[in-house]
Structure 1
Amino acid sequence: MMAALIASIPLIVIVALFAVGARSLPVAAAGTAAVVLTAIGSGSPPSTILGALLLAGPTAAGVVVVLCGGFVLTGMLSASGGLARIARLFEESASDTGTRLLMIASGFGVWIESVVGFGVGLIVAIPLLVRAGLPPPRATLVSLLTMALVPWGALGAGTLIAADRAGLSAAALGTASAWLSLPLMVVSTAVAAWVCRSAGSPPRALPLALFVGVEWGALVLANTLLGPGAAGAIAPVAAVAAVALVRGRRNARRASLDRPLARALAPFLTLMSGLIVTGALRASGALPPAWAFLASPQFWIISSVAVAFAAAATSGGPVLRAAGRALRASASAVLAVVLFLFIGVAMSESGLAASILGLAEGAGATFPFVVVGIGMVAGVSVGSNVGAAAMFPGPVAASAGGSAHDPLLSVAAYNVVASFATGLSASRLGLGLAAAGDPGAESDGEPASAPGAGGRALDIRSVFGVTLVVAAGLTGALVAAIAPG
């Protein structure tokens, strides 16, 4: 018990600082210092910390490129009018404000996150939600709430890592995670719809239910047939198409593809088609190892930025200046993400994560609830699906097997909850507020809040935190009901 409590010190430091409203970068720096000191104090040699740094280095470099590329892309599109034209596309395709917001956040934003990952979906969706009528903090909250498919972000990178760490089949873990995602999808989408009421009208019940049902069904089917790599990209597209067919028929003539829209969508089409085609070539063995970089998100986010600049060549000066402003505004948020990623890897490599799982010994029938609780803490602490996937799946699988619980369902529950919990982390909140044009809001007197009903402040942390606890509890109950142990 004492070893588990000592190993939890870095997570306690992070959660405590985050709870009192500290900014993401100071929280990440304090967490990094805490994990290094705790690991060395627990007997890990300095070489272990150095090894964790080297292990996290390549991934961290890739994350920096992807995040900076995402901020530059949205800054360029905002300056060139591309974001405004994409926002108008959703206005033309949906007959009411609520459905439009749903399609932007749960459809377009989640699709971008599933293909690229690392928070780029937030960076792209939040400015569109602001243009559609949501105040910046509410736009941030809605986008965070609708990222229920985070386990499949970056073409399933986190789920693939979790499966490898736990010694499970990636296809089996993806499918199990999809089945267990239903409570989370229902709760988070319902809360997001409630938050959207400030923009005029929340999404109506029929399109809301249709969207969640189709997205979940497509997610399960795609994981079963194709694996976790493509499932996250397929599910939101299927859901948006279903809602558009039901709700958008009368607006079909209004929605049209013109030259400004083609220029605005070209970077995203480049990004999606490039990643999917080269990913398929790599999976089939048709892509030579020397050309493997062509299948990386880094290559295609840079390519999409180049396409965006070429499409806005007539206003190159203002677009480049906007890109520079976006890059400078996002610097601290990007650095915080990198530090949190290192924390996750260091917790795993030093054995601190395995020690924390000692708290689950003797949990008995409550083991699933302990697992989702650890998932919440891991996600909130490291703020990265990849980082959370590197921390606990191995120890969770081992503890589940030793306590007569199903390792696959246990790791799947952890995967789903930890991934969603990253939305409550300091790093993701920092990214969201930076994308909303309010990078300092997380540290002022009313952190990340907007006027609510009756003039009351609506705090992002409070609303998301309650949603997370409810969804995690339902997920734990579902696992306990399916496999009581």
Structure 2
Amino acid sequence: MLALAAASPIVVAMTLFLARTKATTMAVYSLLTGVLVAIFFFPTPVGELLRAGAMFGPTILEVLLILFGGVLLSRITAETGAMDRISGWLRQSASNRQAGTVLVIFGLVPFAESVTGFGIGVTVGVPLLMQLGHSVKHSAILSLLGLVAVPWGALGPGTLVAADLAGLSLFDVGVRSALLTLPVVLGAGIAAWLVMRGESPKPGRLLAHLVGAAVLLNAGILVANLLMGTPPAGIIGSLLVLAVHLLSFKMGRSLVPAGRAVAVALLPYAVLTAGLLAARALSSPMEASLLKRTLSSGGIWLIVACLIAQYGSTSLGGGTSGLRARASLAYRSWVPVGIATGGFTILGALLAATGMGRELGAALAGIGAGYLVLGPVVSGLAGFISGSNTAANSMLAATQAQAATSMGSSVLQLVAVSNVTASMATMLAPSRILLAYEMAVIPVAAVPGPDAASPTEGEVTAWIAPRLGILLAVVCTLLGLITWVIH
């Protein structure tokens, strides 16, 4: 009975998702269901709830700030023409649109996600894909497929949570997660090919390009985990993809000199990356505190990047709107995304604090060895609900470790595979799809799309969801079978 009650928020979210309900509605009703279940079936001392609030509260606020900063940066770079200059440079340098698209999916989106996390890769990828001539639907799904480096997003806090709760080393979990990510990147490459093959005159060459870029990204992440540790692995892997593509453009004599205008357009992203990495390196010796978290927060550095994008563009005559006007428009786009993301993240914290996540995991572990196949699927559901592998691991990592121990299986394997599937499932999270949609339909004249009229959120969700759902089901099942075979 308790297990059924614990599963009810997830069931509500899934039901509303299949009914094509808006992400904000899903988040609100799922959270309300979770609160009611907690009150009647999982009463928790107020002190425990306050401690959980102190633990998850800063993370939730940081996530919301990061999302707002990402939306604002996207709007500023679009209106000032910075995104035009970047995408124009890529279009001119790439031998064709296919090369530019692959560069975005397996280079730019994973890079942005690795630096900042929380789906910000989507805010970088969608505008560029729109500029490359893709439709709203294609831009949204291709950018979501680029979320293949989520275990290393924001320098890997979710993977760190999984390692800590399971009593494992971050190095071991990072390396095993990198090994298990190969089916994820290959699946994303094949899915992208299925979306794009009708546009390519040489579909076989397109498939080889996508698969090659996927393998290169995964190899870079694995080697970086082994040589440099887990936190910077996603950044190193995605930079390798970017470097190889730019080198190939240069060898093919298609690489166009960036010039001052492109350099200014890229400056906000360079400052964001360098500032975030430097701040985290310099603050690492500090004791854990609000000051340390603020200095190394992706949200703070995104706001810095927004200021540089806003005022740096004036030297090139970009844009006339003030920062306040752009922030107001960004706020309107951010509100539904913030409600959906915040609601699901709070739900994840509630499941962890009240024991609902542990109850559900324990009940499923009673299945026996078959749970080794279902365990990754369960974590995938948690990632789908929360839109965050950090929240999913907070809910289930300890339970997965206990289940593996009770079955005499490898704790490292089950925890790592759960980390990977929870991360992959964020592609399908309602909050992520909504974010991709909002980025694709921002009403900016400088970012024209090929559609005569922008599709609605429901239409985009209905088109994307089954495609990503099938991909997720296939990869999660495959990873589950691998885990069962290892057992």
Match of 1:342 in 2: 346
**Mapped pair 1:331 → 2:344:** no
Structure 2 residue corresponding to 1:477, chosen from 462, 477, 481:
481
- Matched with 1:418 is 422
Residue type matched to 1:174 in 2?
G
Does 1:4 find its partner at 2:6?
A: no
**Post-superposition CA distance 1:22-66 (Å, at most 9, x none):** 111111111111111111211323624454444322111111111
- Within 5 Å, which residues of 2 pair with 1:151-170? 151-170=151-170
8 Å CA contact retained: 2:170, 2:230: yes
1:361-440 maps to which residues of 2 (within 5 A)? 361-437=365-441
CA contact (8 A) 1:21 1:443 kept: no
Distance 1:190 1:247, change over 3 A: farther
- Percent of aligned pairs sharing the same letter: 30
Change (3 A) 1:324 1:251: farther
Which residue is equivalent to 1:261? 262
Residue in structure 2 matched with residue 83 of structure 1 by the alignment:
83
Structure 1 residue identity aligned to 2:408: A
Identify which range, 341-350 or 224-233, moves more after superposition. Answer: 224-233
Rounded to whole Å, the distance in 2 between the matches of 1:277 and 1:411 is 30
Equivalent pair of 2:213/2:241 in contact (CA under 8 Å): yes
After TM superposition, the score normalised by the length of structure 2 is: 0.91
Distance 1:421 1:238 in 2: 25
1:84-139 deviations in whole A, cap 9, x for unaligned?
A: 11111221332122221010122111100110011111011101101101101111
**Cα distance between partner residues in 2 of 1:310 and 1:247:** 31
Letter in 2 for 1:448: T
- Give, as a single letter, the amino acid of the residue that structure 1 aligns with 2:371: F
Amino acid at match of 2:6: A
Match of 1:32? Answer: 31
Matches within 5 A, 1:51-90: 51-90=51-90
Aligned to 1:455: none
Tell me if structure 2 keeps the 8 A contact 1:379–1:422: yes
Q: In the aligned structure 1, how far is the partner of 2:198 from the partner of 2:88? A: 19
Q: Aligned partners of 1:122 and 1:265: how far apart in 2?
A: 17
In structure 2, give the amino acid aligned to 1:273.
A
Paired residues of 1:433 and 1:441 also in contact (CA < 8 A): no
Distance 1:94 1:286, change over 3 A: farther
Alignment-derived partner of residue 119 in structure 1:
119
Q: Hey, what's the Cα distance between the residues in 2 that align with 1:346 and 1:290?
A: 26
Cα distance, 1:148 vs. partner?
Answer: 1.0
The CA deviation at 1:198 is 5.0
Match for residue 452 of structure 1? none
Distance 1:410 1:291 in 2: 32
State the match for 1:235 in structure 2.
Answer: 237
Structure 1, unmatched stretches of 5+, are 450-458
- Cα 1:384–1:291 shift into 2, 3 Å: closer
Partner of 1:454: none
Contact 2:379–2:419 under 8 Å retained in 1: yes
CA distance in 1, matches of 2:353, 2:288: 32
Using the alignment, how far apart are the partners of 1:475 and 1:248 within structure 2? 38
**Displacement of 1:187:** 0.9
Q: Quick one: which of 307, 318, 321 aligns to 1:318?
A: 321
Quick check: 1:79–1:319 contact (8 Å CA) kept in 2? no
* TM-aligned CA distance change 1:198 to 1:57, over 3 Å: farther
| Structure 2 residue corresponding to 1:448, chosen from 458, 461, 472 | 461
- 2:24–2:337 contact (8 Å) kept in structure 1: yes
- The alpha-carbon deviation at position 241 of structure 1 amounts to 1.9
Match of 2:215 among 213, 221, 224: 213
C-alpha distance in 1 between matches for 2:185 and 2:305: 30
Asked if the contact 1:73–1:323 (Cα under 8 Å) also holds between the matched residues in 2, the reply is no
Task: Tell me by how many angstroms 1:213 deviates.
Answer: 2.0
- Aligned to 2:359, which of 343, 347, 355? 355
State the AA in 2 paired with 1:107: G
Tell me the C-alpha RMSD between the 2 structures: 2.3
Deviation of the 1:177 alpha carbon: 0.5
TM superposition shift of 1:83: 0.5
The CA deviation string for residues 230-289 of structure 1, in whole angstroms up to 9 with x for no partner, is 00111111122223334552244x421212101110000000011112222234669999
**1:456: which partner in 2?**
none
Taking the aligned partners of 2:240 and 2:120, their CA distance within structure 1 comes to 20
CA contact 2:362–2:399 (8 Å) conserved in 1 = no
Distance in 2 between residues matched to 1:198 and 1:431, nearest whole Å: 26
Q: What amino acid is the match of 2:172?
A: A
Deviation at 1:140, TM superposition (A): 0.7
Kindly tell me: are residues 144 and 364 of structure 1, through their superposed partners in 2, closer, same or farther at Cα, counting changes over 3 Å? same
CA distance in 2, matches of 1:448, 1:39: 30
| In 2: Cα distance, 1:447 partner to 1:308 partner | 30
Does structure 2 retain, via aligned residues, the 8 Å contact 1:146–1:189? no
Amino acid at match of 2:387: G
Deviation at 1:317, TM superposition (A): 3.5
* Structure 1 segment 265-276 matched on structure 2, within 5 A: 265-276=266-277
Q: How far has the Cα of 1:293 moved from its partner?
A: 3.1
Q: What one-letter code is carried by the residue in structure 2 that aligns with 1:354?
A: R
Deviations 1:302-334 (A, max 9, x none): 111111112123455325334432221221111
Instruction: Tell me if structure 1 keeps the 8 A contact 2:189–2:207.
Output: no
Q: Deviations over 1:348-388 (max 9, x none)?
A: 11100111112333434322211111012111111122211
Bigger mean CA offset, 459-468 vs 469-478: 469-478
Q: Please say if residues 119 and 147 of structure 2, whose CA atoms lie closer than 8 Å, have aligned partners that are also in contact.
A: no
Aligned partners of 2:389 and 2:423 also within 8 Å: yes
- Which moved further from structure 2: 175-184 or 381-390? 381-390
**Aligned residues of 1:18 and 1:27 also touching (Cα < 8 A):** yes
CA-CA distance at 1:193 after TM superposition: 2.2
Q: 1:276 to 1:264 in 2, by over 3 A?
A: same
Query: Aligned ranges for residues 62-211 of structure 1 at < 5 Å?
Result: 62-197=62-197, 199-200=199-200, 204-211=206-213
Q: Which residue of 2 aligns with 1:16?
A: 15
> 2 CA distance for matches of 1:222 and 1:416?
17
Secondary structure of the residue aligned to 1:317 is coil
Question: Deviation digits for residues 457-480 of structure 1, max 9, x if unmatched?
Answer: xx1001000000111111112222
Aligned to 1:250: 252
Render the CA deviation track for 1:410-466: whole Å, top value 9, x for unaligned. 01111000111011111111111011116995654x3436xxxxxxxxx10010000
CA contact (8 A) 1:340 1:387 kept: no
Contact 2:23–2:340 (CA<8 Å) still a contact in 1? yes
By how many angstroms is 1:299 displaced? 2.2
Query: Contact 2:106 / 2:214 at 8 angstroms: preserved in 1?
Result: no
Aligned-pair CA distance for 1:218: 1.1
